[in-house]
Amino acid sequence: VVTEFLFSIFPHLHEGGLLFFVPLLIVYVFIITGNLVIVIVVQLDTALRTPMYFFISVLSFLEIWYTTTTIPKMLSNLVSEQKTISLAGCLMQMYFFHSLGITEGCVLTAMAIDRYIAICHPLRYPTIMTPRLCIQLTAGSCLCGFLLVLPEIAWMATLPFCGSNQIHQIFCDFTPVLSLACTDTSLVVIVDAIHAVEILASFLVIALSYIRIIVVILAMPSAEGRHKAFSTCAAHLAVFLLFFGSVAVMYLRFSATYSVFWDTTIAATFVILAPFLNPIIYSLRNKDMKDAIGRLLRSQKKADRAGR
What does the CA dihedral 190, 194, 196, 202 come to, rounded to 10 degrees?
Answer: 170
Q: In the prediction, which pLDDT does 24 show?
A: 94
Instruction: State pTM to two decimals.
Output: 0.90
Q: In the prediction, which pLDDT does 13 show?
A: 58
Instruction: Please give the share of the chain, as a percent, with pLDDT higher than 70.
Output: 95
Backbone angles phi, psi at 255, to 5 degrees: -90, -5
- Mean pLDDT taken over the chain: 86
Q: If you ran DSSP here, which 8-state letter would residue 183 be given?
A: S
Q: How far apart are CA 218 and CA 226, in angstroms?
A: 7
Q: In the prediction, which pLDDT does 284 show?
A: 67
Give 92-140 pLDDT, tens digit per residue. Answer: 999 999 999 999 989 989 998 998 898 888 899 999 999 999 999 999 9
Give the other-Cβ count within 10 Å of 36's Cβ: 15
Q: What is the mean pLDDT of residues 261-289?
A: 84
Q: In the prediction, which pLDDT does 53 show?
A: 92
pLDDT band with cut points at 50, 70 and 90 for residue 14: low
Give 192-239 pLDDT, tens digit per residue. Answer: 777 778 788 888 888 888 888 888 888 888 787 777 777 777 777 888
Q: How far is CA 168 from CA 9, 108, 165, in A?
A: 6, 30, 10
